[in-house]
Structure 1
Amino acid sequence: MKNWSVAIGLVGLTFFANAQKNSNEIEVYFLGGQSNMDGYGYIKDLPDSLKRAQDGIYIFHGHTVPDDEEGGGIGSWQVLKPGHGTGFTADMKRNKYSDRFGLELSFAMTMQQAKPDRRIALIKYSRGGTSIDSLAADVFGCWDPDYHGVTGINQYDHFLATMRHAMADGDIDDDGVKDVLVPKGILWMQGESDSNLESSAYAYYDNLKRLMDLIRATMLTDDLPIVIGKISDSNDASRGGKVWKYGELVQYAQEQFVKKDDRAAIVRETKHYEHSDPWHYKSVNYIQLGNAFAEAMLKLEE
């Protein structure tokens, strides 16, 4: 593990601790992965219920940058609204919203409806095309904690920066009362890029387990519930009828992960989703995906 992950653990210790002493507790979920976590749904396709801001639900969406670049993970806490899909950018004070959305909208709404007496917040950092294995990273980047590259900075470091910046704000809704974030779960939608290489596909179980363990440690909860989305193939004819060459190996690894971890669940309905291009789902599917993640998370929380 890189040295500054120890520092973020100390930051998290002060921010996540002593929840019982403060009535302003907020349940927080981390959303991470690659492009289908980014979200390729079009806002124009949203139903009216999801086109509006979700008052009372806050999100910290870390700015995404490539490996070896600084500035990843900066952002600010804002009320959740559409525009957190691909093309979203942020600085330390404001968000620049895109015309796309991901699973965050329907996930948050479903969770809030299921737990109306609790407050919900999201922390999101994802980057399209990224793998866990550095060998499969290509130009998109990787989440390998041991990656050194040119500067030693990669997507895992940007995740840590996202968490550090998110936790630096002790009053995320600016109401003058200290907020205490209570870690409740991890949502992970990724694996497609690792299925491009046989070696990274075979290594996916070990790589996924290690990364999830580290994210759990960062959020200071050893058995934190994890829901992962099972990757699917569009079988696009223009790409020879199969997009992910070793996709079955990654799918098997995902199944093994949830089989061996009784605090993890998997969303399998992705196999029925339609695609807007060879890699990404249609707008309606991101709504369905958020609902499915929420339903799986709620079962883990029972």
Structure 2
Amino acid sequence: MRFFTLLLLFCSLHAFPAQPLHAEEVNVILIGGQSNATGQGYVRNIPDCFKTDERVLLYYSGSLKGTEPAEQLIPLSPASESPDRFGVELSLGTALQKKFPREKWAIIKHALSGSNLFRQWNPGKTPQDKPGEEYVQFIQTVHHGLEALKKQGHIPVLKAMAWQQGEGDARDIAGEDNSRAYGENLNNLINRIRADLKAPDLLFIYGSILPVALPSRFPGRDEVRRGQREVAENARTALSVKNAIYVPADDLQLRSMDFRTPFPTDQIHLGTHGILTLGERFAAALEKAWKQNR
């Protein structure tokens, strides 16, 4: 019953007009992270009132699966570990197109479930350091996506990155040192992405993780969540990064509450409504930041 109530609330908020797009430039949003970035929402549970805006373009890495082949430009559609699941790409892209109807939007995505920041996504401290394999694939995916946009006659402009990750660094197998270093590592990741992509003003937005304490599996939860908060620009700490935006997500629906969920005890991953809402929150926060920076 609670699932259908959430869907009714979500449906009441969504409608967008079909307006022609004339802009030559394409605003590009990047997506990266682990399982809540790949997305564990179920396509079958998306409410009928939610219509993906297929004017938004999507390019995703070969690590992901969707209804269309990877590593090519396609209309916005699910891209996760399997074609029956999706991530924030759907609601984030659709919401941005609605908020800025006269502009063109594209999303470039690479994520891997279970991946950590301390090693797999670690870009290194300097350009001479050997980066982690997921960071390498992410940067390659971004470059390939940008080239694909250019080949279609677009002028891509990097606008923001959505990052949803941290569980891998809070795990028992990560170790206490890596959990404590999450804030420092996230700070470094943001700065290196901006430097490597030559996008110094790139907005970086991310949501809180692990709303439920599971100390036996994730003993570093509090350290990682503290690091997340401290990196945000408005936290004004030694780790704060300009244009880094932290989005609270502890109240969002989890997969354990999803309709006909095959994982009734999963309190780690966001469910269908939770993923859709997180994408909406990201879009709203980005809109606010862009307006403030004008």
TM-score by length of 2: 0.76
Q: CA 1:235 to 1:210, structure 2 compared with 1: closer, same or farther past 3 Å?
A: closer
TM-aligned CA distance change 1:146 to 1:264, over 3 Å: closer
Task: Indicate if the aligned counterparts of 1:131 and 1:143 stay in contact, CA closer than 8 A.
Answer: yes
Gaps (5+ residues) in structure 2?
Answer: 1-21, 65-69, 257-265
Please name the residue that 1:187 is paired with: 162
Residue of structure 1 equivalent to 2:270: 281
- Does the 8 Å contact 1:30/1:123 carry over to 2? yes
Report sequence identity in percent. Answer: 27
Q: Which amino acid aligns with 1:252?
A: R
Q: Which residue of 1 aligns with 2:197?
A: 219
Q: 2:223 aligns to what?
A: 249
Partners of 2:52 and 2:94 within 8 A in 1: no
**Residue 84 to residue 44, structure 1, CA distance change in 2 (3 Å):** same
The CA deviation string for residues 123-161 of structure 1, in whole angstroms up to 9 with x for no partner, is: 101000000112xxxxxxx112249xxx98611111121
Q: Tell me which residue corresponds to 2:263.
A: none
CA contact (8 A) 2:108 2:145 kept: yes
Structure 1 residue 27 and structure 2 residue 12: aligned?
no
* CA pair 106-152 structure 1, distance change in 2 beyond 3 A: closer
Does the 8 A contact of 1:183 with 1:221 survive in 2? yes
Unaligned runs of 5+ in 1: 1-21, 66-73, 88-97, 135-141
What residue number does 1:144 align with? 122
State how 1:72-87 maps to structure 2 within 5 Å: 75-81=71-77, 83-87=78-82
Distance 1:111 1:299 in 2: 12
One-letter identity of the residue aligned with 2:222:
E
Which contiguous aligned blocks of 4+ residues in structure 1 show a shift greater than 6 angstroms?
none
Greater relative contact order, per chain length (Cα 8 Å cut-off, separation 6+): 1
Count the aligned residue pairs. 243
CA contact (8 A) 2:38 2:112 kept: yes
1:39-58 correspondence runs (5 A) = 39-50=39-50, 54-58=53-57
Shift of 1:101: 0.9
Post-superposition Cα deviations, 1:211-250, rounded to whole Å, max 9, x if no partner, equal: 11121123322121111111124346xxxx6542111111
Q: Which amino acid aligns with 1:85?
A: S
Report if the CA contact (8 A) 1:234-1:243 is conserved.
Answer: no
Secondary structure, aligned partner of 2:144: helix
Paired residue for 2:118? 133
Aligned-residue RMSD, C-alpha: 2.3
Q: Which amino acid aligns with 1:292?
A: R
